[in-house]
Each structure stands twice: as structure tokens, then as C-alpha cells.
Amino acid sequence: MIIRQQLHEDSSHFNIELTSTQADQFERYFEELQTWNQKFNLTRIIEPSEVISKHFLDSLTLYPMLTKLPTSASLIDVGSGPGFPGIPLKIVMPDLRVTLLESTGKKCRFLDHVIETLNLEQIEVVKGRAEDAGQHTEYRQRYHVATARAVARLSTLAEYLLPFVKVGGSMLALKGQDPTPELNEARRAIGILGGKSPHIEQVTIPGLSAPRHVVRIIKRKQTPKRYPRRSGTPKKEPL
């Protein structure tokens, strides 16, 4: 019950009015996360108040940035882990078409289970690495938005995300502390990969004292075919 009550109150911070069905879905999501975490160690954050603030609400910081997307817009969540930010966004935006890209099998099984348990539609789980999927015609430059949370520094993350984004779409990277130094070192990579107009937006989350940040980068032109490079290279040798 604490999940329902707290989320009803705190989600209004992002101009979200949860329906009863959505509140039920978040509550069930929390329960499944707790149950599976006992066996598979999906996340270190397990206390209800922390799950709400550091997982659910942190994911929903993207909601105000997605509301102007066209109906049935598409989003890919790269390195989704146990589903953040993709599943919370799908719950509050039922028409959003979501792909959860995750390389770890046990997390993919959990994601498939949650999707079935919550009766979510137009959402799929893809097992694989960003470097491989980003070269696949089924996923390359197909999405309005590509996002990731706590995956890599921006110089590497741009190579993971921008190949998935349509020209005119954007990548949204969720960051904790001020990512200005990261962004400055990533500007060359962003330009090479087809991005422009990087912007940092500071966001606040109920229950957390320190602000969080979202880095938005617009896709201005197609990503050169050679990117992303083979698995492991973007992290070892950032552009």
C-alpha cells in the first residue's frame, strides 16, 4: 500500500495522475522486483521508499520530455537492467512503443515476466549488446528516443544510443551529479555520431535531496555506418 500512496502523491511532481490500474501495476512491479531480487540480485535498492525515489520516480523524470512525442512514438531503453527507465515510462504512457535492450539473460527473463504479469502491450525485450543491435537494420535509426541510465560516460554512451535514433529524434541520458565535464569531453563524439545541441536539464525528485540531470542530444544527421564499433571498443577507445 505504501507504493500506491507514495506514488500517487509524488508522481504529481511530474504532472502525472496515476490511474488505479497504473498504481496496481507499479505495486505489482515492486512485488516482483522484491521476489526475484532474492534469487538473482537485480538491484541493491530494495527498501520501498528508495525503490520509489531512486527507481520509479527517477525513471519518470523523462515523462515531461516525452509528452510532445507523436502518438505511438518509439523508445529504446539500452542496458535496461530490471526495467529502468523503460517499464515505469511504459506504465504511465501506454501508447509508447518500448524496446528493452539488455545483455544479461536473467534480467531478460525478469523483464519478460514483468511484461506478462503487468499485461503490458507494445513492449519487447531484446537480449543483446548495444554495439551489435545498433548495427542491426531492425533497430538502427528506428526510434524517436534512445535512453539509458547508469550505463557509461557520455563519450561512450553517445556511441551506444545515437545509432538507434531517427534523424530528428533524441537521446536522453539520465545522470546523477552535474554531467558538464562528461559532456565537454563527449562533444567530438556527439558530432561524429550525428548529434547536435546537447542540453543538460536539472531535475528534482521527491524524496531525494540532491538534484539529478538529464542530458538531451538531438539527432541532426544519420550516424556513419561504421558506428557503433564492435563490442567493447566504444568503452575501451571512446571517440
Per-residue pLDDT at 1: 60
Per-residue pLDDT at 230: 96
Question: Mean pLDDT over residues 207-222, rounded?
Answer: 95
Question: Mean pLDDT over residues 61-83, rounded?
Answer: 95
Q: Bigger pLDDT: 126 or 177? A: 126
Q: Which domains does the chain have, with CATH numbers?
A: 2-236 (3.40.50.150)
Question: Mean pLDDT over residues 89-98, rounded?
Answer: 97
Percentage of the chain lying above the pLDDT 70 cut: 100
Per-residue pLDDT at 108: 98
Q: 140-170 pLDDT, tens per residue?
A: 999 999 999 978 899 999 999 999 999 999 9
Question: Mean pLDDT over residues 24-50, rounded?
Answer: 91
pLDDT at 191 over 80: yes
Which of 31-40, 143-152, 224-233 is modeled with the greatest confidence? 224-233
Q: What is the mean pLDDT of the chain?
A: 95
C-alpha cell at 11: 508522481
DSSP letter string, 164-232: GEEEEEEEEEEESS--HHHHHHHHHHHHHTTEEEEEEEEE--TT-SS-EEEEEEEE-SPPPTT-S-STT
Q: Is 149 exposed, middle or buried (0-12, 13-18, 19+ CB in 10 A)?
A: buried
